[in-house]
Amino acid sequence: MSLERSFDVAIPRSDEALVLKLKRSASAALDRHQVAPIGDQSEAVRYEKILSAIQNIAYDELDRIQRGVP
């Protein structure tokens, strides 16, 4: 059995534009995946990579907060 947790992290203003761009790219990749030929996973892979990039930004911010860096 696995345990999943979720939490919200406020990203720094300096990363806001990047995250919004990544969010748009993720939505577009998901849209393309839904109409891709059966078996074509290229957009699914792209979608996962984009989400990982967003998660990394959030994890970096969480790590910064935990270390007490202003």
Residues in the chain: 70
Which pLDDT belongs to residue 45? Answer: 96
Query: What was the pLDDT predicted at 54?
Result: 95
Residue 26 CA to residue 20 CA, distance in Å, equals 10
Q: What is the mean pLDDT of the chain?
A: 92
Residue 24 has a pLDDT of 98
* The pLDDT of residue 70: 65
Question: For position 27, what pLDDT does the model report?
Answer: 97
The parts of the chain modelled with pLDDT lower than 70 are 69-70
